Amino acid sequence: MNETTLVIGGHKVPVVTRQAIVVGTGSAGYCAAERLYDLGVKDVALVADHINGGTSRNAGSDKQTYYKLTLSGGDPDSVREMAQTLFEGGAVDGDTALVEAAVSAQGFLHLCELGVPFPRNKYGEYIGYKTDHDPRRRATSVGPYTSKAMVEHLQASVESKGIPTYDRCRVVDILTAEKDGKRRVIGLLVLRTDVEEGSDESRFLVFRTPNIVYATGGPAGIYGNRVYPNGQWGASGAAYRAGVDGKNLTEWQFGLASTNPKWNVSGTYMQVLPRFVSTAQDGSDEREFLTEAIPDYGRQLSLIFLKGYQWPFDIRKARDGSSLIDLLVYRETVLRGRKVYLDFRSNPMQSELDASKFDKEAYDYLEQAGALTGTPIERLRHMNEPAYQFYLEKNPGVDLKKEMLRIDLCAQHNNGGLVIDPWWRSNVEGLFPAGEADGVHGVYRPGGSALNAGQVAATRAATYISARRADTPVLDDYEFAAAAEARVKETFDLLDSATARAEQSGVENVHDYMKNVQDLMSAKAGPVRQKDEVEAAFRQVGQWLDEYETTVSAKIGSRRSVDRIFLVRDILTTAYVYLGAMAEYAEHAGNASRGSVLYTNPDGDLPVKGYGDDANTPLDMEDIFRFKLDGGAFNGEVQETSFRQDGEGKAAGSVNCSWRPVHQIPEDDDFFENVWRSYRETGNID
């Protein structure tokens, strides 16, 4: 370990030198640190905004899924079949899909060896089930908190190795330098949020390193309606400021979730057929609003049932399928300004359940579960008692026997992210995005594939660093100070001026400012988007970024707000880049809808009634819900997005998008003698 102090811009700043830094203490981050250590890169440290925060540790569902190669039964499967499934999600690169499939068993079995209790039958098979977008039975689970179990076991392994963690360190900037026309990582600047006001300790800490595994999670902070746990913000803005490009940024996954506590209402919560209710903001005027568009009893309840395992909003199911429910919730909350609830206390539409009206799929499932009678709460406790207990145990607790559960259509996962190659290298040398921060997914992905992708990303990045970058020299004090001075001094100056304004101002509205950005994103860049409104939002956020130093950082009046000025900048930057990508996509695709997003198209069609003689009759819905499917027209392309600052003191810069063909799945390379020879010579590492 090498800790020194440098004077940059007249400020003393402690510098910690490490061969590799892992940012993030979720399942991908801990895995990367552990893998690096085991592969010989022992000079590694973890950096966390909040060690107990984040999505991996605090999020889940009624049965949180881990997706991997089939390891049980007689169903045929192979690495290439799994790669093909991932590739068919659309806008997915075949080489990274092949790596995800090939390394999935290694990552999964490693977790098993660490003690994550994935279920096995008495013969030792790791049993599986089908999840969404899954043709096999590749999914498995340890229950609602699969990712939490992963984090806890990975953390225990990391701590047993003595790998240090620097907690309460918020990313401010990734420090880079140019060499031979190539931008490369030289370090990381963080704000120490645990340093007391008036302390002699520096508010800042610099890590000097040539290698950063960037496992900061998805950019949850840009949306107001989100199911991400509180405190999960992401730090993608710092990566874009450093010149890292984005990939498939338009592709988000949205789904129905409770708002307090934040939790996906998938699986059993839908399959027990709760009543969907909306009210005015004051709680009056209670309505079963689904009946307005879906008056047929059997059809409405069958669609509610299907939401259990067709949980993410899917535009292909919005015309006459289960995702129509998502649009009706959106209409109630966004267009009509009402609150929406699930009511488990009584049955939808009528007091007694009439299962004879259900579709066969719903009837057979509930009959097998012994749940064709009673109320939703009785069915829930019969089928999945832990799902009921979960809400009782949360803070605040919700007793589904006695009260309704407020829900909304929320951002749940970003399928896009920072660019990566098959070794999880970004376009900035030495930076390796991992987990939800990277852009490995496309339009669709099998449920649970994100947990697998994070373990694969960590393994690949660590393998490459240990083989090719373990001896990469760090800059000496003089070189480092010269290369980092401009960016670090800019940060010091911003904090100093913001602190001075905080002392003169009694106004604290940084959080209001953040809320404005988040509300704008949810309203204009959520599951329903209109091209002109996305473009207007892009211009608005660009204006806010340009005015950042004089407007945003001036609107602080407390220590807590000073701590968050860099978080506000990161969220603004990220939202700006994402809005630029969304606006360009709408232009490129001609407002064609795909994935988990409806792009309003005046020439498109409305959802239809979907049953009986009126099956193709359009529903009486607002024109905002007119859409045309892209039909997979752009599945063979990847949108990449770059952000470059324009200088002259302006924070907002240019956002530029380009399209390229997806990388195809590589041809078989399985002649043993050739592979073995090259493995002996190079480890088969590019």
Three-class SS of 220-238: HHHCCCECCCCCCCCCHHH
Query: Hey, is 355 helix, strand or coil?
Result: helix
Distance CA 625, CA 604 (A): 9
| pLDDT of amino acid 664 | 97
Sheet with 182-192: list strands edge to edge: 2-8, 11-17, 204-208, 182-192, 169-179
- Look-up: residue for tokens 């991932």? 86
What's the burial of 674, exposed, middle or buried (CB within 10 Å: 0-12/13-18/19+)? exposed
| pLDDT of amino acid 552 | 59
Query: Hey, is 520 helix, strand or coil?
Result: helix
> What's the predicted TM-score (pTM) here?
0.95
Query: Hey, is 295 helix, strand or coil?
Result: coil
Distance CA 489, CA 493 (A): 6
Antiparallel, parallel or unpaired: β 2-8 and 182-192: unpaired
Task: Yes or no: say if 353 and 378 are a contact pair by the CB < 8 Å rule.
Answer: no
Task: Yes or no: say if 434 and 36 are a contact pair by the CB < 8 Å rule.
Answer: no
Number of neighbours of residue 147 by Cβ within 10 angstroms: 26
Beta bridge partners of 643: 655
Distances (CA, A) of 175 to 147, 302, 362, 484, 591: 31, 54, 55, 6, 38
Distance CA 435, CA 415 (A): 10
| pLDDT of amino acid 287 | 97
Of 559, 567, 574, whose CA–CA distance to 49 is shortest? 567
Cα-Cα-Cα-Cα dihedral of 372, 375, 378, 379, to 10°?
A: 40
The ranges of the chain with pLDDT < 70 are 1, 197-198, 496-511, 549-562, 646-651
Distance CA 323, CA 339 (A): 19
| pLDDT of amino acid 513 | 76
Token digits for 250? 């338009």
Task: Yes or no: say if 215 and 28 are a contact pair by the CB < 8 Å rule.
Answer: yes
Exposure string over 464-487, b if 16+ CB within 10 A, otherwise e: bbbbebbebebbeeeebbebbeeb
Backbone φ and ψ of 634, nearest 5° = -115, 15
Distances (CA, A) of 556 to 223, 338, 512, 652: 22, 32, 10, 21
Distance CA 77, CA 286 (A): 50
Distance CA 281, CA 681 (A): 68
Beta bridge partners of 654: 644
Residues 317, 321, 322, CA angle at the centre, nearest 5°? 90
Helix intervals (H) in 22-93 = 27-38, 55-58, 79-87
Task: Yes or no: say if 215 and 29 are a contact pair by the CB < 8 Å rule.
Answer: yes
Backbone φ and ψ of 174, nearest 5° = -90, 125
Distance CA 453, CA 181 (A): 31
| pLDDT of amino acid 11 | 79
C-alpha count within 13 angstroms, C-beta hemisphere, residue 522: 23
Q: Count how many residues are written for the chain.
A: 686
Our separate counts of H helices and E strands in the chain read 20, 25
| pLDDT of amino acid 651 | 60
Backbone φ and ψ of 149, nearest 5° = -65, -40
